[in-house]
């Protein structure tokens, strides 16, 4: 087990009021981006007994926690104010969800201030102690 797995943690906080398809889409986008940013959370490829390759998947649990637009925004503000140097934050907003392509997203983001975003979810990665303090009392999204 890598040191990162022991000392760090990853959680997703997603607006539980979204339709199930948007919850799944938000989780997929946050997870893919987090895996790209922190490839240490992806395990190695594994060959099975039939010599078939199974591409590496996450080697740490990634709980998906229940949030609301307001709770996510408040949590994001707290992290940006107090833990920006210690945590990786990936946000996924309504702005991103409604864009037709990445250039559209870039254009829209450049014209919005931070307080104008409505976040559908965020992914957070960093020291387990900090993440437990910030999200330890949040229920799992079921």
* pLDDT tens, position by position, 31-41: 999 999 999 99
Residue 122 φ/ψ, nearest 5 degrees: -140, 150
Domains contained in the chain, number: 1
User: What pLDDT, on the 0 to 100 scale, is given for residue 1?
Assistant: 45
What residues contact 96, with CB distance under 8 A and at least 6 apart? 29, 105
- Per DSSP, 41 falls in state G
Asked whether residue 141 is domain-assigned, the answer is no
> Does residue 28 register a pLDDT over 60?
yes
Asked whether residue 111 is domain-assigned, the answer is yes
Asked whether residue 37 is domain-assigned, the answer is yes
CATH of the domain at 92: 3.40.1490.10
Query: Global pTM?
Result: 0.91
Whether 60 and 5 have beta carbons less than 8 Å apart is answered as yes
Encode 79-109: b = buried (16+ Cβ within 10 Å), e = exposed: beeebeeebbbbbbbebbbebeeeeebeeee
Q: How confident is the model at residue 6 (pLDDT cuts 50, 70, 90)?
A: low
Average pLDDT, the chain: 94
What SS3 class is residue 91? strand
User: What pLDDT, on the 0 to 100 scale, is given for residue 85?
Assistant: 95
Asked whether residue 114 is domain-assigned, the answer is yes
Q: How confident is the model at residue 25 (pLDDT cuts 50, 70, 90)?
A: very high
What residue numbers bound the domain in which 122 lies? 3-135
Asked whether residue 123 is domain-assigned, the answer is yes
Q: Which residues face 47 on adjacent strands?
A: 53
Rounded average pLDDT over 68-90: 96
Q: What is the residue-wise DSSP string for 107-138?
A: HHHHTS-GGG--EEEEEEEEEHHHHHHHHTTS
> Does residue 76 register a pLDDT over 70?
yes
Q: What is the pLDDT of residues 82-110, one digit of tens each?
A: 999 999 999 999 999 999 999 999 999 99
Q: How confident is the model at residue 120 (pLDDT cuts 50, 70, 90)?
A: very high
Asked whether residue 140 is domain-assigned, the answer is no
């Amino acid at each position: 087990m890598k040191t990162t797995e022991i000392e760090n943690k990853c959680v997703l906080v997603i607006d539980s009021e979204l339709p199930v398809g948007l919850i799944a889409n938000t989780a997929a986008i946050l997870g893919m981006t987090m895996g790209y940013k922190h490839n240490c959370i992806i395990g190695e490829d594994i060959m099975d007994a039939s010599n078939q390759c199974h591409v590496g998947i996450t080697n740490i649990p990634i709980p998906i926690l229940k949030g609301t637009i307001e709770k996510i925004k408040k949590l994001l503000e707290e992290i940006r104010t107090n833990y920006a140097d210690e945590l990786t934050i990936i946000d996924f907003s309504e702005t991103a969800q409604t864009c037709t392509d990445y250039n559209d997203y870039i254009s829209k983001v450049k014209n919005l201030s931070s307080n104008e975003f409505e976040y559908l979810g965020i992914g957070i990665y960093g020291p387990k102690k900090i993440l437990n303090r910030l999200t330890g009392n949040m229920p799992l999204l079921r």
